[in-house]
Amino acid sequence: MAVLRHPDGRVESLLFDGSPLLASAVFADPDGPLLTGRDALHSARTRPECLEPNPKRRIDDGTVLLGTREIPVAELLAAVLSRVVAEAVRVAGRVPADVVLTHPVSWGPRRLDLLHRAVITAGLGEPALVPEPVAAAQGFLTLPDVRLATGETAVVYDLGGGTFDASVVRRTDSGFEVLAAEGLSDLGGLDIDAAIFAHLGAAFRSRDRIAWGRLESPVTAGDRRASRLLWDDIRTAKEMLSRSSTADLHVPLLGDELPLGREQLDDLARPLLDQTVDATRAALRAARVTEIAGLFLVGGSSRIPLASTLLFRRLGVAPTVVESPELVVARGALLAAAEPSAPPAHSAAASPTSPPSETGVPEPRTRTGHRRWWAVAAVVAALAVVAGAVLTNRTDESESVDAAGTTAPSESTPTAAAQAAPGRSPSGTPAGASPTAGPACGRKLAVLGPKTGAAYARGVPLFNGAELAVNAYNAEHPECPVTLAEFDSQGNRDLAAKEAGKIIADPSIVGLIGPAYSAEAVGAGSMFEKAGLPLVSSSATSSTLSRRGWRTFHRVLGEDTQQVAPTARYLAAEGLTRIHLVQENSEYGNVMANAMRAELGKAVIGTGTVKGGQTDFAAVTKAILAAKAQAVYYAGYSVEAGLLRKKLTEAGGSAIPLVGSGAMLADTFPRAAGTSGTGTVVTCGCLPVSELPKSVRSAYVEAFAAEPEPYTAEAYDAANVLLAAVGAGRSTRADVLAFVDAYSDQGLTKPLSFDARGEVESDIVWAYRMDGGKFVPLRRLD
C-alpha cells in the first residue's frame, strides 16, 4: 500500500488495478520488462517458474532465478517501487519530492542499503526510513479509541503473507522507540494457505491421486492454471472466514466443492498462530515488560479471529484490530517521518561502536526534521512494508545487529535481583550457576495457605507436597538441611497479609511456596514484591496476578484462561454445540465467562448470571431449558455450581451436562450437588494423582497415611524450584530470585521455566469427571 500526502495536508491512497493493495509478486517476462502486482500473478498462471511471489523473503539471496533470467533482488524491489512511482506521478503530476518507506525492524545496514539502492533505481530521491512497528504505533494513535501515554508500552503484532514479527515499542516525548522484537522469517499467511491445501489433499488424494498430483505438482499450462485457481480460492476462503463461519472451496480438475468452516481453519492455523504468540511473549521477555497498554494487529493474516483470541488469552489484553491496518500504518509512516523520533534503545545509530555495513556503504539516512512533506509513503507490498512481516535476526547471519537493537532489553529499571538474573544455558541449568557449588546452609522456605478454617482442604496438598519435597532434599543434604516454615492464612486475604509480615521479617526465609489462593496473593503479593522475596505458587491461578508487575511472582500452574480453548475443543468433540453460559458475579467468573464466550462464539445460545451465596436457581434453570441447551458451562466456584446442578436435574434437565473449570474441583461440589453431580466435567491445569510416579505416591502415603490429592504434584514442583536454588548455593533472596527467573528443568507435572511475568511456559489441561461422589481424571485435553 502507498499513500500520497499533498502540500495542503490531504492524504490519498494510491490505487493499483483499482485496489489500494499492490501484490508483492514480480514476474520476469522472458522477452520483456518485469511485471508487478496483478499483472505478475496473471502471467504466472502459465509460467509460474518466472514468478517471485515474495521478494522480501529473498532479501539475502543476492540474485533470484526467474525462468531463464537471473535478477538481482534490488531490481525486484525496484520494480515494485517503480510501479508506486508511476501511480504517484499519474495522480500528482510529478515525482514526489520526498519518500518515506517502512522496513522490518530486524533489518541491519546491509539490507537497508539494498532497499536504499532499490529506491534510487526506481527514480526516487533519498528515502526516509521508518521501522515498521514505529509506523504502526504512530498510525494506531490516530484512531479515536486508542490512548497511549508517554512512557507506556505497546506490542505490534505483525502477521503478513510471508513472515511474522512482534515488536515491543514505548512511547517517548518525541515518538516511539523499539525495545525488543522477535520474528519468524518462514511463517506467514502463505503457510496457513499451505495447511489448508494439505487438508484438501488429505480429503481428495485418495479419491483421485492423479488429478490431485496435477494440482500439487503441475506440469502443463492447464494444470498450472488450475493449481493457481485453487490457491487463489484458498486465500479467498481464508479471508472470508474472518467475516463468516463457512466458505466453499472449488477444487479444479476434480470438479468438486468442499466447505471449510471457521473451526476447521482454527484447527489448521492454531499450530502456526501458537508460534506467533510464543514469539510475542519472547519479545516481551526480552524487553522486560510485564504490562502493556496496547496490542496492535497489523498484516493481512492478523485478521484471522483466532489470532485475537490466542493473544487475549495469553497476554490478557484485548487486541486492537482495524479493517485496513495497511492504511493506518501507511499514514503512521508519514507522521513518524515528519517529526523527530527518539533513537531506539541501544540502537546502532546511537552507538559510536556500531559496526559498518558489510558493503562498506554508509547506512541510509533517516530524515526526522520538521519540514513540509509532499511525499509518498511507499508501503511496498514486495517488502510487505506497512504491516509487513519482519525477518528474524538470525545468529548464523553475517549481518550486523540491526539499528533498532531488537535484542536489547528495556531501559526501564528492574529490581536489583532481576538485573542480576542469569541467562539459561543450553542444558537448562541457569548460566552462572556453578555445578560444583555447595548448598546454602541455614536457609528456610515458607509455605502460606489455609491449614485451618473452611478452606483448609485446598491447603492440605500445598503443605504436604512442599513437606514431601523438603524431606527428600534434606535426605540428600543432611549437612545443610532446609527448614520448612508453615503459615496459616485460613484462606483469608487479610490474614494472608498479616502472615506475610511474619514471613518477610525472618531474613533466613529466602523463598515462599504459595500462596494457595489468588485472593491471598492479591492481599500479600505487593508485600513480597517490596521485600524481594521470590514466591512460586502451586494453585493461585487468577489471570490478573501475573499482570501486576510483580517480579517476585511465579507459578507452576497455568492461568485460568488457558483452560478455555481445550474446553471448547472438548465440547465440540462431544457434539455439544448449543451452550448456555452461566457466569458467577465475581472476578474469576467474569474472566472465565468472557474468555469462554470469545472462544465459543456462536455456540453460546444463552447466558445467565448468579451471585456468590445464591441458593435460588429456578430462573436460571428455566432459561437453560427454554433455550434447549445441549450443555451448560459454569464460570464460577464449586458450591453455587453444585446447587445449580442439583436444581437443573430436579427441573428435568438431568440429561444436560454441566462443564466448568478448576474452581469447581473441590469436595464442596459433590456435597452441594449430591447424586445429581454425577457426570459433571471440570477442567484443571493440575496433574491427576494417578499420573504421579509410583515412588512419589508411595512416599506420600508413608509420610501422611493418605493418598495424594490434586495440586500435590504442583506444590512438590514449586518447592523443588526453590530448593534447587538453595542447593546451588544461593543464600540470599535476590540470588534465589535470579535463579528462579532463569530456572529450566523437568518437573513432576511438566517442563518448568518462567516467562517475564512469572507464568510457567509449558502448561497442561486435564478433564475430570464426577463419578461416585468424587472427581476422577477423564483425559488430557491440551
pLDDT for position 437: 58
Q: What is the pTM of this model?
A: 0.48
Residue 143 has pLDDT above 60, yes or no: yes
Residue 267 has pLDDT above 80, yes or no: yes
Question: How many other C-beta atoms can be found within 10 angstroms of the C-beta atom of residue 63?
Answer: 14
**pLDDT 10s digits, 152-184:** 999 999 988 778 889 999 998 888 889 998 888
Question: How many other C-beta atoms can be found within 10 angstroms of the C-beta atom of residue 83?
Answer: 26
Question: Strand, coil or helix: what is 31?
Answer: coil
pLDDT band at residue 429 under the 50/70/90 scheme:
very low
- Which has more confidence, 574 or 662? 574
- Spatial distance between the Cα atoms of 741 and 419, rounded to a whole number of angstroms: 11
Residue 223 has pLDDT above 50, yes or no: yes
Most confidently predicted of 274-288, 353-367, 515-529, 616-630 = 616-630
Longest Cα–Cα distance in the chain: 89
In the chain the domains, ranked by start, together with CATH numbers, are 2-188+270-383 (3.30.420.40), 418-558+694-749 (3.40.50.2300), 561-684+767-780 (3.40.50.2300)
- Spatial distance between the Cα atoms of 133 and 168, rounded to a whole number of angstroms: 8
- Spatial distance between the Cα atoms of 376 and 372, rounded to a whole number of angstroms: 13
Q: Which contiguous run of DSSP H or E holds residue 102?
A: strand 98-103
- Which has more confidence, 356 or 188? 188
CB 581 within 8 A of CB 606: yes
Q: Average pLDDT over the chain, rounded to whole?
A: 81
CB hemisphere CA count around 737 (13 angstroms)? 25
CB 750 within 8 A of CB 780: no
The rounded Cα 187 to chain-centroid distance in angstroms is 15
- Which has more confidence, 12 or 311? 311
CA distance from start to end of the chain: 40
SS3 content of the chain, % helix, strand, coil (to 5): 40, 20, 40
pLDDT band at residue 447 under the 50/70/90 scheme:
very high
- Spatial distance between the Cα atoms of 449 and 539, rounded to a whole number of angstroms: 10
- Spatial distance between the Cα atoms of 35 and 30, rounded to a whole number of angstroms: 11
Select from 478, 510, 137 the least CA-distant residue to 341.
137
Task: Over range 661-668, report the average pLDDT.
Answer: 84
Task: Over range 64-76, report the average pLDDT.
Answer: 88
- Which has more confidence, 724 or 41? 724
Phi, psi angle pair for 572, to nearest 5°: -65, -40
Structure-derived torsion over alpha carbons of residues 158, 162, 163, 164, reported in degrees to the nearest 10: 30
- Spatial distance between the Cα atoms of 170 and 380, rounded to a whole number of angstroms: 25
Select from 309, 618, 666, 632 the least CA-distant residue to 454.
666
pLDDT for position 339: 55
Task: Over range 355-379, report the average pLDDT.
Answer: 36
Q: State the Cα angle at 230 between 225 and 236, rounded to 5°.
A: 125
**pLDDT 10s digits, 734-773:** 999 999 999 999 999 999 999 988 999 887 899 999 998 8
**Percentage of residues of the chain with pLDDT beyond 70:** 87
Bridge partners of residue 638, in order along the sequence: none
- Any idea how long the chain is? 782
- Spatial distance between the Cα atoms of 659 and 678, rounded to a whole number of angstroms: 12
**pLDDT 10s digits, 111-137:** 888 888 888 887 777 778 888 899 888
Residue 203 has pLDDT above 90, yes or no: no
Question: How many other C-beta atoms can be found within 10 angstroms of the C-beta atom of residue 174?
Answer: 13
DSSP label at 16?
B
Select from 65, 53, 61 the least CA-distant residue to 23.
53
Phi, psi angle pair for 52, to nearest 5°: -115, 105
Task: Over range 243-271, report the average pLDDT.
Answer: 85
